[in-house]
């Protein structure tokens, strides 16, 4: 197997790029550098009795729809409520407690308490149109809103790789650190120690090869540039990494029983939004 070594890059290009779309007029890229996204994680509230996911897919009123094949053995799936009349029910697994917000990256399902709904929908670039659902926690039923993220699994189709850079971390230390942040044992400003940094890849295939070449360590974004329809507050990079804008994460974290927790300002994110001439 050929080992593909990523190129090192000291400072990713932050200049705006311009492009032309055939038959649609000129298109300029409006770039917004926002160095204030953090990694999200699950609090103890949303860990099921077996230490696994929080949602019982089989007993919930949604379909798990395959969007596309993402590897030889894996598909990208999404929870959808197609043709469901009334208010769908989502059954939470044993020992999961009520929360304000929770994201299931396996099926791109964001569950949000009614009082923070406006914060999620504000700006229109984060989620598709949501719908009211009922979440069942044992015998308790509570109202929530369910959404799919617009920026879901962006790693394989929306990343500007030449302008993005990554760091290598030991996954066990990274996961333990995030868990301790969620429990209040470490400050929200805790930063994972990098084994190596400023790693730049030519594309998604080389990034995937790099994940195999780094002896089981994780590659996580340091600077991330993505192409999106509008500026988003929540971005799912891949199955293990979801990034949340710092302004949103602060409001969620300050609420009781937040459900998700966040590391502060760990990733610089630039979203290149296409603006077409009319």
pLDDT on residue 123: 86
pLDDT on residue 214: 83
The pTM of the full predicted model, rounded to 2 decimals, is 0.84
What mean pLDDT is predicted for residues 157-170? 95
3-class SS of residue 233: coil
Spatial distance between the Cα atoms of 252 and 89, rounded to a whole number of angstroms: 23
Kindly report the backbone phi and psi dihedral angles of residue 119, in degrees, each rounded to the nearest multiple of 5, phi listed first.
Answer: -65, -35
What confidence tens digit (pLDDT) does each residue in 115-141 have?
999 999 998 899 999 999 999 999 999
Spatial distance between the Cα atoms of 274 and 228, rounded to a whole number of angstroms: 8
Spatial distance between the Cα atoms of 233 and 147, rounded to a whole number of angstroms: 13
- Give 33 or 180, the one with higher predicted confidence: 180
pLDDT exceeds 90 at position 77: yes
pLDDT exceeds 50 at position 143: yes
Residue 255 CA: distances (Å) to CA of 79, 108, 247, 252:
26, 23, 13, 5
pLDDT on residue 258: 81
What mean pLDDT is predicted for residues 227-247? 92
What mean pLDDT is predicted for residues 229-244? 92
Q: Which of 243, 240, 215, 244 is nearest to 74 (CA)?
A: 240
149's tokens: 């993220």
**HSE toward the beta carbon, residue 2, CA cutoff 13 A:** 4
What mean pLDDT is predicted for residues 202-227? 89
Spatial distance between the Cα atoms of 58 and 64, rounded to a whole number of angstroms: 10
Q: Which of 113, 114, 146 is nearest to 128 (CA)?
A: 146
3-class SS of residue 102: strand
pLDDT on residue 276: 37
Banded pLDDT at 41 (limits 50, 70, 90): confident
What confidence tens digit (pLDDT) does each residue in 44-64 have?
888 887 778 899 999 999 999
pLDDT on residue 29: 36
**Range of 7-21, 145-159, 173-187 with top mean pLDDT:** 145-159
Kindly report the backbone phi and psi dihedral angles of residue 202, in degrees, each rounded to the nearest multiple of 5, phi listed first.
Answer: -75, -20
pLDDT on residue 261: 85
Average pLDDT, the chain: 83
What confidence tens digit (pLDDT) does each residue in 79-109 have?
999 878 899 999 999 999 999 999 999 999 9
CB contact at 8 A, 144 and 109: no
Beta bridge pairs of residue 226: 159, 271
């Amino acid at each position: 197997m050929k080992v593909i070594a990523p190129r090192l890059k000291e400072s990713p290009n932050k200049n705006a790029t311009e492009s032309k779309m055939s038959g649609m007029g000129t298109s300029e890229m409006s770039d917004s550098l926002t160095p204030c996204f953090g990694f999200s994680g699950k609090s103890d509230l949303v860990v099921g009795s077996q230490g696994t996911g929080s949602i019982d897919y089989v007993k919930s009123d949604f379909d798990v729809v395959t969007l596309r094949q993402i590897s030889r053995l894996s598909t990208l799936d999404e929870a959808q409520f197609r043709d469901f009349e009334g208010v769908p029910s989502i059954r939470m697994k044993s020992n999961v407690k009520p929360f304000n917000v929770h994201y299931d990256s396996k099926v791109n399902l964001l569950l949000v308490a009614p009082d923070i709904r406006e914060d999620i929908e504000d700006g229109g670039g984060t989620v598709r149109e949501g719908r009211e659902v009922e979440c069942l926690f044992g015998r308790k039923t509570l109202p929530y809103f369910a959404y799919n993220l617009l920026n879901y699994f962006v790693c394989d189709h929306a990343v500007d790789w030449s302008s993005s850079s990554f760091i290598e971390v030991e996954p066990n230390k990274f996961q333990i650190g995030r868990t301790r942040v969620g429990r209040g044992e470490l400050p929200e400003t805790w930063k994972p120690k990098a084994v190596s940094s400023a790693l730049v890849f030519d594309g998604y295939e080389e990034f995937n090869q790099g994940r195999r070449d780094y002896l089981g360590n994780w590659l996580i974004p340091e600077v991330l540039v993505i192409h999106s329809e509008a500026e988003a507050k929540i971005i799912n990079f891949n199955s293990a990494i979801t990034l949340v804008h710092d302004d949103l994460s602060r409001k969620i974290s300050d609420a009781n029983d937040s459900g998700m927790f966040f590391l502060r300002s760990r990733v610089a994110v630039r979203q290149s939004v296409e603006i077409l001439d009319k």
